[in-house]
Every structure is written in structure tokens, then in C-alpha cells.
Amino acid sequence: MFDVILRACRHPILYSGVRRITTLTFKEKIHETGDIYSFIFTAANLPSWQAGQHSIFTIPARPVEGKTWRPFSVASSPHENEIRIGTIVSAEPSSFKHHLSTLNPGDKIRMFGPYGELYITKKMRHVVGVAGGIGITPFRSIIADLAKNPTDTKLTLIYSAREGQHAYRGDLEKWREQNPNIEIIYTTTPEEVNAELAKQVEAYKNDAHYLLSGPPKMIEALCSKLSESGIAKDHVLNDPFKGY
């Protein structure tokens, strides 16, 4: 929470989006791979957002125990006209995820946002993305958006997940074929991620911006590596998925 407040103080406009509250209607739950599921919601009037941003979600009609809210990246892109949450639901989920997972079509939840700084701006000529596991969610949105609205920006995404557990791979490949500026490198180990990132840093240095998303430990390690390699702080944007 302290981290979020700090970021909001640094980027008050980007974070002011959290004040926008939208009631969402649950449409369907989709099994992606392993214990990863997508939850699809619609709304009469969806707010505008930048592909890659996240929101805070609550389920007011359910008796959620403990922390009653969770931040999730919006895994859909604005043109898909729906809100998609992609998350892990384990065999013994938290109370929040139990209630998310047992929603019935038509049930309502509440969304605060979207907001946040993990998105591609016009000044970014080359973007190197790293997604660790479920950290793929903001990149699903970003890549869908780049496929629909191609720009001159080149995106190289290093997507790391356990063998056979690369969620959304079918969608990502379809969109990659629509925009030659998108490259996706699938990896399965931290060593491969480090090696692929080192190649990108060597090739693009501070001409690139680095967008990182996934477990906090992974983000911390990658930020240190980028800093040691001389990458400027303002060329690194990250969403540590606290809770993993």
C-alpha cells in the first residue's frame, strides 16, 4: 500500500483514475491453462483507459473475509469493450478469489480505475517487456492494442512461465502476426529471462524502455540488473504483483 501511495504522489494524474468507479456485470469465467482463469465483465459505460493499466476490484455483494479488495491489471484492451481479469485460482483460494470464482452471470462487482503507469507512450520507440507468469495480463492488453492500432513502436516481450503454462499464447500469436513490430520470446527459467534481457540491453541500452510485470521478487531482481547495466530509472516501469 505504501508503494502505491508513493507512486500516486509521483504521478498524481496517472493515479487519479482510481477515483472513477464503475459497476461491472459478470459475463463468464474461462479456463486458460493450469490454474489460470479469465473473468469477463461488461458495463453499460466503460471508462477509457490505456492498455496495460490496472484497477482495484471489490465484490460488495459477497461476504469477503480479510482484505476486501484486490488490484488486477486489465487484461483486455480498450477496443475489446469488456473488462478481463486474468488470475490464478488455486485449489484453496483466498476468500476474495473464492467469491470471484463463484460469481454467476449477471452478478455485479465494482471497479476503481483503471489507472497506473505501465503503458506504452508515443515517445517510446522500442519497448522491452518482461512478463513473469501471470504478469502477462497487462501485456495481453498491450499486444491486443498494438495489433489493432499498429504504431512505429517495436515491442519485444520476454514471456516466462512454466513449460506449457504460457496463458493467452494463442491470442498473443494471432496478434503478433498482425503487427511485424511485435516479437515474443517464450522462456521457462529465470536464467533464460536474464540471458534474453541481457541481449536486449546490449542491443538497445537507453534507447529502449523496459516494462516489467510479475512477482515482486522477479521485478526487484530485474530492476537491479537493469540499474547495474546503466539503464536510467525513468526508462524502467514496473507493476510488482504484490501477493505472489
Residues engaged in binding ligand FAD (CB under 6 A): 54, 70-73, 86-88, 94, 96-97, 134, 137, 239, 241-244
Q: Shortest distance, CB of residue 202 to ligand FAD, whole angstroms?
A: 29
Q: Shortest distance, CB of residue 204 to ligand FAD, whole angstroms?
A: 25
Cell of 24: 461491472
Q: Shortest distance, CB of residue 49 to ligand FAD, whole angstroms?
A: 13
Q: Shortest distance, CB of residue 199 to ligand FAD, whole angstroms?
A: 27
Complex with ligand FAD: residue 167 or 201, whichever CB lies closer: 167
Complex with ligand FAD: residue 50 or 87, whichever CB lies closer: 87
H/E element holding 218? helix 216-228
Complex with ligand FAD: residue 27 or 126, whichever CB lies closer: 27
Q: How far apart are CA 168 and CA 38, in angstroms?
A: 10
Cell of 183: 516479437
- For residue 1, which of 242, 237, 244, 219 has the smallest C-alpha distance? 242
SS3 per residue for 138-187:
HHHHHHHHHHHCCCCCEEEEEEECCCCCCCCHHHHHHHHHHCCCEEEEEE
Q: Shortest distance, CB of residue 10 to ligand FAD, whole angstroms?
A: 15
Complex with ligand FAD: residue 70 or 154, whichever CB lies closer: 70
Q: Shortest distance, CB of residue 234 to ligand FAD, whole angstroms?
A: 19
Complex with ligand FAD: residue 50 or 154, whichever CB lies closer: 50
Q: Shortest distance, CB of residue 159 to ligand FAD, whole angstroms?
A: 14
Pairing of strands 21-33, 108-115: antiparallel
Cell of 182: 511485435
Q: How far apart are CA 16 and CA 39, in angstroms?
A: 25
Q: How far apart are CA 151 and CA 42, in angstroms?
A: 28
Complex with ligand FAD: residue 190 or 216, whichever CB lies closer: 216
Complex with ligand FAD: residue 101 or 149, whichever CB lies closer: 101
Residue nearest ligand FAD, Cβ-based: 243
CB contact set of 29 (below 8 Å; sequence gap of 6+): 37, 38, 39, 40, 101, 103
- For residue 153, which of 184, 183, 124, 178 has the smallest C-alpha distance? 124
